[in-house]
Amino acid sequence: MSQEPPKSIPKHIKFLFGGLSGMAATCFVQPLDLVKNRMQLSGMGAKTKEYKTSFHALTSIVKNEGMFRLYTGLSAGLLRQATYTTTRLGIYTWLLETFSGSEGKPPGFASKAAIGMTAGATGAFVGTPAEVALVRMTADGRLPPAERRNYRNVAHALWRIASEEGVLALWRGAGPTMGRAMVVNAAQLASYSQAKQFLLSTGYFQENIFCHFVSSMISGLVTTIASMPVDIAKTRIQNMKMVDGKPEFKGAVDVLMKVVRNEGFFSLWKGFTPYYARLGPHTVLTFIFLEQMNAFYSVRVLGQDASKTSGL
């Protein structure tokens, strides 16, 4: 008798779980996102506050702006996850299932990377308006009071950007944002799937939270190294203002060249510690939440062993 093939989680549920897992993780790491953005923007002007290290940035923000300012931009961070992460993880898990073998064998690493890049670029385009709002809201506290934008929340930020600068300004930096997302997702999603597959093949790991944690930390490190230069270009373009009626930067390449020329080559990885401190736990928490949601749905709704359900 042929064995009944395992049931799959519906595609709309995959999208829902992807967004919810990213939003849950953001609630824990938002302060690190704020520190990362402040670090990446330092060195852009004498009028702005400069931070020597990530710890200096963190303590300065708490001292000068208050503890709760560490969660500035949380509404934008949650919207970003609701749009960007919902789309990218939903598309990734759907494509991963589509291109898996007839017996559920996952595709190779190159295919996973290509799937990750596709999912990332699509998700990034959808999430760019929330990304622009997030960068500006987290960066506001480093400016002199007279130059601050003072957005009250993400809805206020999106409305003001659209009304004051035009609707297309909501997609400012969409190119480097999509480029960063392609790098991040090719590295993050593919390396997570590959690391998890390898760890399970050793026989020392089982399909549980510890395996998900180790896979996520490996994925986070690979992703941080690969994506930071593109992320710095994205952050500075989205936060730039007009200078004598002209944009401060011509594009991502212009940003990178000016950073290397004025601040040094390794400034492309400025803010590495908060970036990894954010991306590592965010990757861990996102995948752990996602895996647990998938497992719960498999057992309670599909009525089968969670390990037999198609997922990441």
Q: What angle do CA 160, 165, 168 make, to 5 degrees?
A: 105
Distances (CA, A) of 195 to 105, 109, 218: 15, 10, 7
Chain centre distance of CA 257:
24
Please give the pLDDT value at position 75: 94
Chain centre distance of CA 56:
24
CA 12 – CA 246 distance, rounded (Å) = 43
Please give the pLDDT value at position 162: 95
Task: Write the CATH number of the domain with boundaries 11-308.
Answer: 1.50.40.10
Please give the pLDDT value at position 300: 81
List alpha helices for 140-263, DSSP H: 154-165, 174-202, 209-239, 252-263
The backbone torsions φ and ψ at residue 264, rounded to the nearest 5 degrees and listed phi first, read 105, 150
Q: Tell me the average confidence (pLDDT) per consecutive run of 10 residues in the chain, 312 residues long.
A: 63 83 88 83 59 83 88 93 86 82 74 86 93 90 85 94 94 86 78 86 87 84 83 81 73 84 82 75 80 84 65 54
How many Cβ atoms are within 10 Å of 294's Cβ, its own excluded?
21
CA 157 – CA 133 distance, rounded (Å) = 6
- 3-42 as b/e: b if 16+ CB within 10 A: eeeeebbeeebbbbbbbbbbbbbbeebbbbbbbbbbbbbb
List the structure tokens of 296: 């719960």
Which 3 state secondary structure label does DSSP give 243? strand
Distances (CA, A) of 13 to 7, 18, 168, 303, 305: 13, 8, 31, 16, 18
Instruction: Please state the length of the chain.
Output: 312
Please give the pLDDT value at position 122: 93
Largest pairwise CA distance in the chain? 76
CA 297 – CA 303 distance, rounded (Å) = 8
Single-letter amino acid, residue 183: V
Nearest to residue 123, comparing CAs of 84, 157, 167?
Answer: 84
Q: What is the pTM of this model?
A: 0.70
Sequence spans of domains, the chain: 11-308
* DSSP single-letter state for residue 242: E
* Cβ–Cβ under 8 Å, residues 85 and 23: yes
Please give the pLDDT value at position 48: 52
Please give the pLDDT value at position 163: 95
Please give the pLDDT value at position 286: 82
Please give the pLDDT value at position 145: 85
